């Protein structure tokens, strides 16, 4: 085949390949959205590939061409969620004008993201039964943990810059803030916070105000 023939063949094939990839991406997103609903209703243990396929409008066999098992679907949902969380945290911190503003905005973005996406919050905690994580392979669990650490890093960097912290102390402060906000989110989601007469946004604002003031004073 000559150069001109090869070039023409590539030109014809590229739109076809792009269409195939677009269709595949669409179907994959549809499967993940359907799986979110099934996992939310039945949990990871109770969900089945056949139920996910039915919810998505596909055959069970079609699902296996995208995901080998329901655990891989679950991991893909959480990976997408953590990627979106990381994006939200980065954007929030980057939009602030000073060190205190960056630290506060980055941390606030963690709470705001999960408050706006309660289903993702629910799914992220469905991995746990009793005293430890279950349902995912060690390799998938390590991948997701890596994504979480990466998502939180802009918060740690902003806190380090604000308070002159070393990486270990900045990580500790970040995890402590994430734990506080996760607790608030879970109490909000369960309705317990309303029973206790408290406001989630107010509790988070108070915690972040105290945190950034303490670190600013330290520096």
User: What CATH number is given to the structural domain containing 123?
Assistant: 1.10.357.10
Claim to verify: residue 41 and residue 112 sit in the same structural domain: no
pLDDT tens-digit profile of 68-106? Answer: 998 899 899 999 999 999 999 999 999 999 999 999 999
pLDDT greater than 90 at residue 126: no
Q: Are residues 82 and 63 in the same domain?
A: no
Inter-residue contact 75 to 140 (CB < 8 Å): yes
Give dist(CA 177, CA 179) in Å, integer. 5
Of 67, 101, 117, the residue that ends a domain is 67
Claim to verify: residue 83 and residue 184 sit in the same structural domain: yes
Q: Which domain holds residue 36?
A: 1-67
- Lowest mean pLDDT across 3-12, 54-63, 156-165: 3-12
Same domain for 217 and 156: yes
Please state the domain count of the chain.
2
Q: 212 and 128: one domain?
A: yes
Same domain (yes/no): 204, 104: yes
CA count, 13 A, side-chain hemisphere, 57 = 6
Residue that is last in its domain, among 23, 44, 67: 67
User: Do residues 122 and 187 both lie within one domain?
Assistant: yes
Residues 147 and 73 in one domain: yes
Choose the final residue of a domain: 40, 67, 94. 67
**Residue 53: HSE in the Cβ half-sphere, 13 Å Cα cutoff:** 16
The pLDDT value given to residue 12 = 59
Mean pLDDT of 11-23: 73
Question: Alpha-carbon distance 68 to 73, whole Å?
Answer: 8
Q: Which residues contact 121 (CB under 8 A, 6 or more apart)?
A: 114, 185, 186, 189
Choose the weakest-confidence range: 40-49, 78-87, 194-203: 40-49
pTM above 0.75, yes or no: yes
Q: Are residues 184 and 194 in the same domain?
A: yes
Is residue 74 domain-shared with residue 177, that is, in the same domain?
yes
Statement to judge: residues 142 and 210 lie in one domain: yes
CA distances from residue 118 to 18, 33, 156, 187, 188 in whole angstroms, order as listed: 34, 14, 24, 12, 10
Same domain, 116 and 165: yes
19: domain CATH number is 1.10.10.60
């Amino acid at each position: 085949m000559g150069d001109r023939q090869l070039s023409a063949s590539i030109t014809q094939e590229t739109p076809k390949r792009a269409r195939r990839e677009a269709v595949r991406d669409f179907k994959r997103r549809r499967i993940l959205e359907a799986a979110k609903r099934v996992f939310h209703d039945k949990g990871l243990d109770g969900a089945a590939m056949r139920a996910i396929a039915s919810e998505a409008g596909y055959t069970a066999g079609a699902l296996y061409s995208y995901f080998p098992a329901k655990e891989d679907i679950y991991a893909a949902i959480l990976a997408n969620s953590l990627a979106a969380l990381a994006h939200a945290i980065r954007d929030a911190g980057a939009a602030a004008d000073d060190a205190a503003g960056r630290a506060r905005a980055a941390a606030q973005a963690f709470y705001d993201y999960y408050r706006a996406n309660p289903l993702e919050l629910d799914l992220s905690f469905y991995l746990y039964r009793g005293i430890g994580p279950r349902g995912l392979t060690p390799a998938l669990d390590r991948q997701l943990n890596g994504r979480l650490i990466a998502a939180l890093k802009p918060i740690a960097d902003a806190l380090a810059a604000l308070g002159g912290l070393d990486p270990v102390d900045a990580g500790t402060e970040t995890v402590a803030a994430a734990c506080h906000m996760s607790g608030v989110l879970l109490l909000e989601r369960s309705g317990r916070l309303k029973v206790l007469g408290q406001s989630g946004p107010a509790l988070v604002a108070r915690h972040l105000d105290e945190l950034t003031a303490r670190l600013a004073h330290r520096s």
